[in-house]
Amino acid sequence: MLKFPSDFAWGAATSGPQSEGTFKKKHQNVFDYWYANDPDKFYDGVGPDTASNFFNDYKEDLALMRKAGIKSLRTSIQWSRLIDDFEKCTVNQDAVDFYNNVINAMLENGIEPYMNLCHFDMPVELQHKYGGFESKHVTDLYAGFAEQCFKLFGDRVKNWFTFNEPKVILDGAYLYQFHYPLKVDGPLSVQVAYNINLASAKTIERFRKLYGNDDDKRIGIILNLTPAYSASDSKEDKEAAEFAELWANKMFLDPAILGCYPEKLVEILKRDGVLWDYTQEELDLIAKETIDVLGVNYYHPFRVKAPEVSSKSLQDWMPDIYFDEYEMPGRVMNVDKGWEIFPEALYDIAINVRDNYKNIPWFVSENGMGVSREERFMDENGVVHDDYRINFMKNHLKELHRGIEEGSNCHGYFVWTGIDCWSWMNAYRNRYGLIRDDIHTQIKTIKDSGRWFKETSDNNGFEE
């Protein structure tokens, strides 16, 4: 029996824009706007307007999640739902009532709320007017929104998070065109990265002013992490992996936990003429306002090799001028998603946090397996027999347990996701849930993985 720490949190993660639907929203976020204007970009033309209908079904959904062993739930408060006037930071009372009801229903079901404040869902008005996080003014508006959340819901919510996967904001919206506004601008992505770290620090500052060092409340950030693995031991491949590690992981990890940027990253960006605009006052704030807890999203490894084309070539600046992605021969794949399955990276992350990041308290804030056409594995009663998902979770939990046994300060495992949810451009092409959602009828059914997760959660561990 693999047993986990006594305070270990067994949970699931989702987000407001992926679960709630757009019911009664006054403002659009960037995905609402993109879908309204170009629905054909989304798989099967399915947008975020209904999602998994959490706005209407939250009471039943939360009760069902609890039956699947989910004792903690990470979701998000939508800026575009809560705030009426973005400049004045006034709130929408219908939205306040909704989030109050959701939080109360969580607690009534014995589910601990973990609240995130940004899950790629920039209000489109701020994107169009200011460029979203291209603007430092928007970092102030964001901190104001966060402060409203703390004041409105902080009497019941103990765990807060400033951002989910800020690197994906860069990748999707500023580098590789899979999130609106679909820009390709490497230097601008550098500034956006800095501004997101600044927005996080400003938000933490507001949190500290309200709560001081209250041990009962914590604020953190959710980062999608994986060590950058080099294709070989050659000098060139190792240099590629070093930059990939700086860009993909340390650019957000170091400011969040250590309060500073990696010197080598700053040196390279400065040499290339793309270093972010900053002030000493901002750097001092980032140094001061570090996180209490780290959430780690992990799905697949990041393997790189030396670039085929020299970084010294005449070309527009992009981070990947310093590395090419590498596909390891013989790798195990989740073919539906196109991602390598490599649980060992979770152990490497655990040891990295232990040795290089103050052994800060952390938890796995997302881990899961997206599979297409799960009807293949459904019986006549509508139950999905997803042994592949159970094996995926078991194998990752074994590696996590190994890291904990060696002293890494990990206190939770949150699966992505509780109920099948809407997933950006991919909509419902791949399903991740412990609970199936028939999006046409909104009938929701616990999968085999949900029953396994309940047993594991109740036992605080599982048989190897």
Catalytic residue numbers? 165, 366
- Cα 10 to Cα 272: distance, rounded to the nearest angstrom: 44
What is the 8-class DSSP label of residue 419? B
Cβ(122)–Cβ(79) under 8 Å?
yes
Cβ(161)–Cβ(151) under 8 Å?
no
**Is the dihedral angle over the CA atoms 227, 231, 235, 239 positive or is it negative?**
negative
Q: Of 244, 144, 143, 243, which Cα lies nearest the Cα of 195?
A: 143
Cβ(293)–Cβ(362) under 8 Å?
yes
Q: Is 84 exposed, middle or buried (0-12, 13-18, 19+ CB in 10 A)?
A: middle
- Identify residue 207 by its one-letter amino acid code: F
Cβ(364)–Cβ(410) under 8 Å?
yes
What is the 8-class DSSP label of residue 398? H
Three-state SS for 282? helix
Cα three-residue angle 70-74-80, rounded to 5 degrees: 140
- Cα 12 to Cα 77: distance, rounded to the nearest angstrom: 16
